Amino acid sequence: MTEPHPVLPGVRGRGAAFNVPVRFERLSYDPHDTTEEGFERREYAPRTQFYRDHARTIIATNTSPDIPYRASINPYRGCEHGCTYCYARPTHEFLGLSAGLDFESKIMVKLDAATLLRRELSARKWRPQVIAMSGVTDIYQPAERHYRLTRACLEVLLDYRNPVALITKNALITRDLDLLGELARRHLVRVALSITTLDEELLRSMEPRTSTAQARLDAVARLTDAGVPVSVMVGPVIPGLNDDELPRIIRAAARAGAVNAGYNVVHFPGVTADLFLDWLEREQPERRARVEALIREVRGGELNDPRFGQRMTGTGPYAEGMRALFRAALRQAGLPRPGAALDTSRFRVPSAMPSLFGELD
């Protein structure tokens, strides 16, 4: 971890209160941090800025045994949602930007995402498989209202009949019910809504630009009504902060029509622990010591345990207790419910010439 940063006032509408130094840079400077002696931090609310990402490919691959997919699409880099705990924050450092305020206020936009996707799905080396949307951003963050990159990618995936798994914290996903319904009819989509807490005040503080918990549950219901299989991911579970909500969230998800639920325990790669502990000190000072102690308890005395097989669930008695609570909540809610697997057999490379006989499936 870096040296402790003085606890700063929160920044309106942001999860981070400052920019942490970039690990690849020898020098760093935050012009908005005026906390040196003789100064007071001035009110600062950075506007979101968007930059074109001249990506040459769009499908990323991984070999992690902890992740249930090998291919993913990230139409954006960075995320306006500003979740304080987000494990993806350090990815901004590869751009020379900070994992703090920069991650949520300087967003890279892959305007060519759909074109790149079409090219890569048409390549001879592509083997039909489930593509995740996404891994290190939220595909329905506020920028998607304008750029519509996620929708454009879904149109391509439907055209190629390639299955996709989506996860989001934003009810904007219901805008694309038409496409998702068409994909679902062909067993080509599954959706997960991430719900961390039902406490709207805590949610607004911890995930400042996401949809409310109720809006996400309403999205589960609307997707279910449209025939789209939906799960709820309780993630992350933060020991001492929201782990006691597991049964309530799973019950609410089942009532809304979810077919399954999952969870993962918070983990802090890179500098994310600094940002989260700063938020905890600002927003939940009376709970800070207990929450940090419990996180360390499930992480072998550290704030992060990057080992495969451990990082998503934690270890030790407290982690086992959370696992037992989750399993009991699933049983009581009648989850999981049966559902069809995603179908890779329908994959096709569309012809440039329209068929005389129209669509066959």
The predicted pLDDT at position 9 comes to: 55
pLDDT in tens, 301-344: 999 998 888 889 999 999 999 999 999 999 999 999 998 899 99
Q: How many other C-beta atoms are found inside a 10 Å radius of the C-beta of residue 152? A: 18
Distance CA 47, CA 299 (A): 36
Sheet bearing 71-73, strands edge to edge = 59-61, 71-73, 131-133, 164-168, 189-194, 230-237, 260-265
Distance CA 70, CA 163 (A): 13
Q: What percent of the chain has pLDDT over 90?
A: 80
Diameter over CA atoms, the chain: 77
pLDDT at 30 over 60: no
In a domain, 340, yes or no: no
Coil/strand/helix, residue 108: strand
Distance CA 358, CA 361 (A): 9
The predicted pLDDT at position 359 comes to: 57
pLDDT average, residue stretch 239-249: 98
Distance CA 115, CA 276 (A): 37
In a domain, 175, yes or no: yes
CATH number at residue 306: 3.80.30.30
Domain that holds residue 199: 49-333
The predicted pLDDT at position 13 comes to: 79
Coil/strand/helix, residue 106: strand
Mean pLDDT for all residues in the chain: 91
CA angle, 60 then 63 then 68, to 5°: 85
In a domain, 219, yes or no: yes
In a domain, 126, yes or no: yes
Strands (E) across 34-141 are located at 49-52, 59-61, 71-73, 76-77, 106-109, 131-133
In a domain, 71, yes or no: yes
Q: How many other C-beta atoms are found inside a 10 Å radius of the C-beta of residue 201? A: 9
Sequence-separated (6 or more) residues with CB below 8 Å from residue 343: 163, 186, 187, 188
The predicted pLDDT at position 339 comes to: 87
Sequence-separated (6 or more) residues with CB below 8 Å from residue 216: 169, 170, 171, 193, 194, 195
pLDDT at 42 over 50: no
pLDDT average, residue stretch 221-236: 98
Distances (CA, A) of 25 to 35, 219, 272: 22, 42, 17
H-run or E-run covering 319: helix 317-333
The predicted pLDDT at position 21 comes to: 76
**Residue 44: band (very low, low, confident or very high) from pLDDT cuts 50, 70, 90:** low
**Residue 4: band (very low, low, confident or very high) from pLDDT cuts 50, 70, 90:** very low
In a domain, 233, yes or no: yes
Q: Work out how many domains the chain is built from and give that number.
A: 1
Query: What is the 8-class DSSP label of residue 173?
Result: G
pTM of this prediction exceeds 0.85: yes
In a domain, 350, yes or no: no
Positive or negative, the Cα torsion across 181, 186, 188, 191? positive
Characterize the bridge pairing of strands 131-133 and 71-73: parallel
The predicted pLDDT at position 17 comes to: 78
pLDDT average, residue stretch 17-28: 68
pLDDT in tens, 136-184: 999 999 999 999 999 999 999 999 999 999 999 999 999 999 999 999 9
In a domain, 42, yes or no: no
Sequence-separated (6 or more) residues with CB below 8 Å from residue 324: none
Residue 301's Cβ-side half-sphere holds a number of Cα atoms within 13 Å equal to 0
Distance CA 211, CA 257 (A): 19
